[in-house]
């Protein structure tokens, strides 16, 4: 096997390892950041990252309807509806209607949902800082390449 093929194989293997570690990390980090507000959450309910991102989407855009949530998170309306119903049942979001449109249902965060939203925002701020510190080891030209690589990967996996 030539060097280019070996490098492609190694890159693929590292990428798969990265995805596996990312999944484990997200599970750990979600539990860690929600621990301080766990006392406000009934034990029968748990959150995954998609549900947490749904809360964040609602918190950033409220009032927001189901279709807009699905579009922003790139989810099906059916999946978004299931998530919204779980979040409603848990008491993290509530349904609302606008005065000028009684037909359309919108979602808003409850006080507990706002605590989850704040925890999520804090998580992202800490993770952004952690990433910036990690990227300090690379030169400007290397950062340009990394940016291009990740942009290409996002396009590839669409």
**Segment 56-73, tens digit of pLDDT:** 999 999 999 999 999 999
**Can you give the pLDDT at residue 36?**
57
Domain hosting residue 69, numbered range: 3-156
Burial class (CB in 10 A: 0-12, 13-18, 19+), 119: buried
Domain at 99, CATH number: 1.10.10.10
CA–CA separation, 68 vs 60, rounded Å?
Answer: 12
Instruction: State the chain's mean pLDDT as an integer.
Output: 87
Report the domain count for the chain. Answer: 1
Provide the 10 A C-beta neighbour count for residue 65. 17
Question: Is pTM, for the whole model, over 0.75?
Answer: no
Q: What pLDDT is stored for residue 39 in this prediction?
A: 57
């Amino acid at each position: 096997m030539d060097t280019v093929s070996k490098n492609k194989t190694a890159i693929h293997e590292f990428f798969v390892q990265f995805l596996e570690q990312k999944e484990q990390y997200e599970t750990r980090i979600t539990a860690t950041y929600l621990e301080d507000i766990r006392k406000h959450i009934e034990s029968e309910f748990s959150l995954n990252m998609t549900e947490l991102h749904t809360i964040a989407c609602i918190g950033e855009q409220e009032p927001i309807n189901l279709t807009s949530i699905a579009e922003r998170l790139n989810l099906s309306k059916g999946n978004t509806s299931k998530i919204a119903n779980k979040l409603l049942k848990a008491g993290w979001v509530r349904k609302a209607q606008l005065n000028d449109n009684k037909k359309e249902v919108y979602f808003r965060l409850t006080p507990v949902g706002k605590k989850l939203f704040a925890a999520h925002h804090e998580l992202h701020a800490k993770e952004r800082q952690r990433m910036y510190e990690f990227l300090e080891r690379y030169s400007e030209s290397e950062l340009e390449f990394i940016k291009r690589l990740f942009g290409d990967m996002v396009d590839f996996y669409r």
